[in-house]
Structure 1
Amino acid sequence: MKRMQGIILTLVILVLCIAGVALIIVTIPNKDVIILDDKSFLEDVAISEDNITISCIISIENKSESIKTVSIDGKLQEIVKNAVLKDATVRGKFALDNSEEIVIAPKEIIKNVRIIFETTYSGEIQLKNRELPKMEVMYVE
């Protein structure tokens, strides 16, 4: 009986380890695909009741030799003051197809892509400046 419990415990630990590694692999920061800051800008900020929507125009470059599927996370808390955002980091949606992911070919530059970040907030919201929020490109595999 104790042997069976030991086997089950070992299997559970193994499954949890595999799941943890898989989760790390699914969304890891991407250095092959970058946002070209000098060709990107904050387009618009819309504030209504308790929602904030930030629209950015970005250009993305795939520096690798392979096709990449990526998503973009925006660190929105860094550009607002006097408010608390529900989510300090928000996964952006590409306006073209309302998807959180984009596929980019090897050595390709995609210019002028609209990405939208949306979350709720509490407090009196103000922007610190009109700069892009800090964004991180994440692999989607």
Structure 2
Amino acid sequence: MKTARYGVALGAAAASLMLAPPAMAAPEYSVNYCGYTKDVMDGSLRRCGTGWFYDPSTWEQLKVQDNNQDGHSAVLFWSRGGTDFGSVWATSGVGTATTEDVNFPEGVTVSFRVCAGEAGPAEILLDTCGSWRTVTT
């Protein structure tokens, strides 16, 4: 009798697995950091910002967050194939972030880096930039 009950239970479990929808692939996050800038309040050096590239398979998002009270905005600067460029700015102060939806063609290479900058003149402070991070859509 025990064998029959286990067989029915296993059969029901297998049937429910066959009816379940396939699992979706996890979205890809790529994170990058900028260099260090001096905090205007206590003089400590901290990373000025964080940037993310997010590819959930239908569109892409670029996000940048200002991490330091240094008097600068944080900017995520991106390049697609060395011919197409853009930027996303976090201009509202430390702890704030900006997300931008983009739609890159599938299979292209996008490189991005995070820097401090002056949003008014759109000036990127290159000596604060972190290293380039490259992803393929």
* Fold in common (TM above 0.5): no
Structure number with greater CO (CA < 8 Å, separation at least 6) is 1
Rg larger for: 2
Which structure features the higher share of helix residues? Answer: 1
